[in-house]
Amino acid sequence: MRFKRLKRRTSLEKSYLDATMKVPLIDVMFNLLFFFMLTSNFIFPTGIKVMLPRAVTSEVVNAEHLIVTVTGQDLLFLNEKPITIQELTTQIADAAKFKRSLLLKVDKNASLGRVVEIWDLCREKGVPQINIATNQRPGENL
């Protein structure tokens, strides 16, 4: 007796997902842009809002100096950090020792008494130069 062998014709086809070849490049770029826009953080730098007065005869000062800011509510800041008048006194005394000048940024709604108090403090401690920040053109605010 003779056995016949049956041939089975089964073949396995390898299949894979080819997503990159079928998608146009513009779609890939759009998805990347969308992904980065959703995952990025938009952090705006914080600062002190001061409306400087306008002056026609102002000039640009480019020197290493202390920056004292007085807001419209008469709050004091030294190099954008809150400070009390007692701390400001010691900082101005240290600046006077090293002959550093002082830049005074005063909001136009601040009281004149606070400005005069800082000015007298600087003269008393011997600060060599006191500058007042102003805007040259209307509408420029720092």
pLDDT tens by residue, the chain, 142 residues = 566 666 666 666 666 655 556 667 788 888 889 888 888 877 766 666 666 666 555 555 555 678 888 888 888 888 888 888 888 888 888 888 888 888 888 888 888 888 888 888 888 888 888 887 777 665 545 4
Residue ranges covered by each domain of the chain: 65-132
pLDDT (tens digit per residue) in 54-63: 655 555 555 5
Give the model's pLDDT for residue 54: 64
Q: pTM of the prediction?
A: 0.54
Residues 97 and 73: their CA atoms lie apart, in Å, by: 30
Distance CA 98, CA 91 (A): 11
Element (H, E) at 82: strand 81-82
Enter the tokens of residue 46: 């914080």
- Quick one: pLDDT at residue 130? 82
H/E element holding 112? helix 112-125
User: What pLDDT sits at residue 19?
Assistant: 58
**Architecture of 65-132 per CATH?**
2-Layer Sandwich (3.30)
Question: Rounded distance, CA 113 to CA 106, Å?
Answer: 12
Q: What is the pLDDT of residue 49?
A: 66
Q: Find out whether 91 and 66 touch, Cβ atoms under 8 Å.
A: yes
Q: Are 50 and 114 in contact (CB under 8 A)?
A: no
pLDDT at 16 (0 to 100) = 65
Measured CA to CA, the distance from residue 26 to residue 33 in angstroms comes to 10
